[in-house]
Chains A and B, each alone.
Chain A
Amino acid sequence: MTPEQRRHLIYAPLRIWLGLCILLGLTATYAYLPHVPIKPIISLLIAAAKGALIVLFFMQLRKAEAIVRLAALVGVIWASFLFLFSFADFLTR
């Protein structure tokens, strides 16, 4: 294994993993802190950040072709339709 390969194969993913672990510690700690605001939002934001790390780096969406990115994006956009229109009903009853 060349040093270049070692960097690309081992260290880069390891850094992402470390980031994930830190975020996990952060979110668990925040949930137990007394008297802090907007717990659900923070926990979901951290989950989204972890998801973004996995998608962009582990799944290499950052370097993927345009159509692959499009396919990834479409799922999220369409799921938002589901939430948007269902809650348009729930919230206005």
Chain B
Amino acid sequence: MSPNTQEGIVDRELRSPSYLQNGTTIRSWLLTTDHKRIGILYAMSITFFFFLGGIAATLIRLELISPTGLFLTNDEYNRAFTLHGIVMVWFFLVPSIPTTLGNFLLPMMIGAKDVAFPRLNLMSWYLFIAGGLLTVLALIAGGVDTGWTFYTPFSTLYSNSHVLLAAMGVFVVGFSSIATGVNFIATVHLLRAKGMTWMRLPLFGWAMYTTSLVMVLATPVLAMSLLLVVAERAFGLPIFDPRSGGDPLLFQHLFWFYSHPAVYIMVLPAFGVVSEIITCEARRRIFGYQFMVYAMVVIAVIGFMVWGHHMFVSGQSAFASLVFSFLSFVIAVPSAIKVFNWTGTLYRGQIRFSAPMLYALGFIGLFTIGGLTGLFLASIPIDVDLTDTYFVVAHFHYIMVGGSVSAFFGGLHFWWPKITGRMYSERLAQFAAISMFFGFNFTFFPQFIMGWMGMPRRYHLYAPEFQPWHVMSSMGAVVLAFGYAWPVFYLGWSLFKGQRAPDNPWDATGLEWQTRSPPPKENFDRTPVVTDGPYKYHPQDSTPHEVEQAQAPQVP
């Protein structure tokens, strides 16, 4: 990509202030329609929820050290893992990359001044906060004990906890997702800079586009299933109640029609982030750009047709299980294409093991393990054995935490200089990335083993033979918690004391790097014009290695 910024250097004195200096009052932040500031608002909010969910995880891991439980009652334990699930899924993982990095970077990557509907963008943040407040209120009122899945008839007829408040919280935050999705889709369709054709779009842009597609088409069904739960629970209307001929599986169908694609809402953005980091840090064009794009589109579409693999033991028909199982295998193909292509990108590259790259490489490994164990669970005979065991818990944590959260941290580091205008300490960041990788495996690999041995999920009292694995897992969680908390300190330090960042510290090709750090409110001093595809790290037909050799002084 070569935006024509060469025409003339804008005089330093005449330049407009950066987006951070453009109004410094609280009011200028709370009423902003600047996509970059809204990204920052979101980042602060999801950080809060990440630590809230993290506290619940800490309670769970502490409790599980002893087979007889340490300090929680059955009821408190149920509430702890429900809180962990609800907060982490809807208030951290789903919004994490799209609303922070996506909001900040998507318009810049396509050469636009803002998203298509800036006021809608701000509204989505307020909806997020409103939904978050309702959920926090449910927590303060005493919590919820249904698990994050709100399964009926327990949630509607029997649970004595604050299901309504939590369901309303999730309902509201769903509309914040929809607003973001609609906004991003319109942005990518309508605001690409001159010359930015679809096949020149950076993969992060494609990731945001496909993610938004899933958000817009899946979230409303979640909203309706929660509305039906509210109708049955609050007003006694017989909807899923089997005594009136209702079918609890209908709820599961509706719920998983959203919640399985939601996994792709969490992981597609990670694909985008990792593609950007790996190309830059390996100084390599992406291997098979078009297939990377098609893979994401196929995942976004087929992702809607596999939800029944969550219901193999629920009493769904054998035929439906067969279809869902088959399609779940099918969707592994584009995921595998992506993993192979990232690996292919590394081949003959000049790899810098910087902190973002360590996170990205960690992502590939953890995502591969998560994906392959997903194939175990997609095959019905194995799933029947492993349903509701720790094997499932480990599997989805490998995808959602090992995968998405690694990518989120990688992206956060990669674009930190652009967002804040400051550099962070490379050494400390590498240390954080490595401790996160080890802490994660230490925490969750034992869960595969004990799940395979038969340890059921959602129990806090268990047979003593599982204790070594649980203790190992809890100790790993300490390292993992350090890996998550540590960046708060050095990134916080960098905010105030860090070295000023140059415009393009990593020597990357994306449009977002061709403007100032931090960018001005309008993103670009000059509207960019795109003349080439992304990731032009070396000439089309030679590797950077060959280029270097050609330029090296000839030794006789």
Determine direct contact between A and B, CB below 8 Å: yes
Q: CA of A91 to CA of B253 in the docked complex: distance in angstroms?
A: 14
Partner of B305, one of A74, A81, A90: A81
Q: Per DSSP, are chain B's interface residues mostly helix, strand or loop, or mixed? A: helix
B317–A85 touching, CB < 8 Å: no
* Contact, CB under 8 Å: B320 / A75: no
CB pair B217–A67 under 8 Å, yes or no, is: no
Kindly identify which residue among A74, A75, A92 contacts B317, using a CB–CB cutoff of 8 Å: A92
Is residue A10 within 8 Å, beta carbon to beta carbon, of the partner chain? Answer: no
Q: Size band of the A side of the interface?
A: 10 to 19
Q: Are the C-beta atoms of A92 and B250 separated by less than 8 Å? A: no
For B250-285 the 0/1 string (1 means CB < 8 A from A) is 100110010000000000000000000000000000
CA–CA, A86 and B257, complex, Å: 9
Q: Is the Cβ of A89 less than 8 Å from the Cβ of B308? A: yes
B249 touches A78 (CB 8 A): no
CB distance A89 to B217 under 8 Å? no
A74 to chain B: which residues have CB within 8 Å? Answer: 217
B403 to chain A, nearest CB (A): 25
Please indicate the chain B residues that have their CB under 8 angstroms from the CB of A88 in the complex: 317, 319-320, 323
* B323 near A85: Cβ-Cβ < 8 Å: yes
Which residue from A78, A86, A89, A91 sits with its C-beta under 8 Å from B304? Answer: A78
Please determine whether A67 and B189 come into contact, CB atoms closer than 8 angstroms. Answer: yes
* Residues 449 to 475 of chain B near chain A (Cβ within 8 Å): none
Interface string of A72-88 (1 = CB under 8 A from B): 00110010011001101
Least distance between A22 CB and chain B CB atoms (Å): 33
Query: Does A93 lie at the interface of the complex (its beta carbon under 8 Å from any beta carbon of B)?
Result: yes
Chain A residues within an 8 Å CB radius of B257? 81-82, 86
Whether B304 pairs with A93 at a CB distance below 8 angstroms is no
Judged by a CB distance under 8 angstroms, whether B43 is at the interface is no
**Which residues of A are found within 8 Å of B250, using beta-carbon distances?**
86
User: Shortest Cβ distance from B214 into chain A, in angstroms?
Assistant: 10
Closest to B327 in A: A85
B316 close to chain A: CB less than 8 A:
yes
Query: Is there contact, CB below 8 Å, between B307 and A85?
Result: yes
Query: In whole Å, how far is A71's beta carbon from the nearest beta carbon of chain B?
Result: 8
A89: B residues at CB distance < 8 A:
249, 253, 308, 316-317, 319-320
Closest-by-CB residue of A relative to B323 is: A88
Q: How far is the CA of A81 from the CA of B119 in the complex (A)?
A: 32
From the candidates B315, B318, B320, name the one contacting A85 in the complex (CB within 8 A).
Answer: B320
Is B305's CB under 8 angstroms from A85's CB? yes
Shortest CB–CB separation between residue A75 and chain B, in angstroms? 7
**Residue contact B217 to A78, C-beta cutoff 8 Å:** yes
By a CB distance below 8 angstroms, the chain A residues around B337 are: none
Q: Does B221 contact A (CB under 8 A)?
A: yes
Interface string of B229-258 (1 = CB under 8 A from A): 000000000000000000101100110010
User: Restricting to B308-342, which residues have a CB under 8 Å from any CB of A?
Assistant: 308, 315-320, 323-324
Interface contact B189-A93, CB-CB below 8 Å: no
Q: How far is the CA of A92 from the CA of B319 in the complex (A)?
A: 7
User: Using Cβ atoms and an 8 Å threshold, which residues of chain A touch B249?
Assistant: 89
Given A67-B189, A74-B217, A75-B217, residue A81 in contact with residue B320 (CB < 8 A):
no
In whole angstroms, what is the CA distance A85 to B217 when docked?
A: 16
Q: Within the assembled complex, what's the spacing in Å between the Cα atoms of A93 and B318?
A: 7
Interface mask (A8-47 → B, CB under 8 Å = 1, otherwise 0)? 0000000000000000000000000000000000000000
Choose among B217, B253, B315, B318 the residue that contacts A86 (Cβ–Cβ < 8 A): B253
CB-based nearest B residue for A91: B317
With a cutoff of 8 Å between Cβ atoms, the chain B residues found around residue A82 in the complex are 221, 253-254, 257
Q: Evaluate whether A81 and B304 lie within 8 angstroms (CB atoms) in the complex, with A67-B189, A75-B217, A89-B253 already known.
A: yes
* A91, B247: Cα distance in complex, Å: 13
List B contacts of A86 (CB < 8 A): 250, 253, 257
Chain B hits for A92, CB < 8 A: 317-320
- Report the nearest B residue to A82, measured CB to CB: B257
Interface pair B217/A93, CB less than 8 Å apart: no
Chain B residues closer than 8 Å to A81, beta-carbon distance:
257, 304-305
Query: In the docked arrangement, what's the CA distance between A13 and B140, Å?
Result: 54
CA A75 to CA B218, docked complex, whole Å: 10
- In the assembled complex, the CB of B180 is this many whole angstroms from the nearest CB of chain A, namely 16
Complex: A92 Cα to B318 Cα, angstroms: 8
Least distance between A65 CB and chain B CB atoms (Å):
10
**20 extra interchain contacts, Cβ-Cβ under 8 A, other than A85-B253, A89-B253?**
A67-B189, A74-B217, A78-B217, A81-B257, A81-B304, A81-B305, A82-B253, A85-B305, A85-B307, A85-B323, A85-B324, A88-B319, A88-B320, A89-B317, A89-B319, A90-B247, A90-B317, A91-B317, A92-B320, A93-B315
Enumerate 12 A-B pairs (CB-CB under 8 Å) in ascending A order. Answer: A74-B217, A75-B217, A78-B217, A81-B304, A85-B307, A86-B257, A89-B253, A89-B308, A89-B316, A89-B317, A90-B317, A93-B317
Chain B residues within CB distance 8 Å of chain A: 189, 217, 221, 247, 249-250, 253-254, 257, 304-305, 307-308, 315-320, 323-324
List the 7 closest pairs (A to B, CB-CB), nearest first. A89-B320, A92-B319, A92-B317, A93-B317, A86-B253, A78-B217, A89-B316
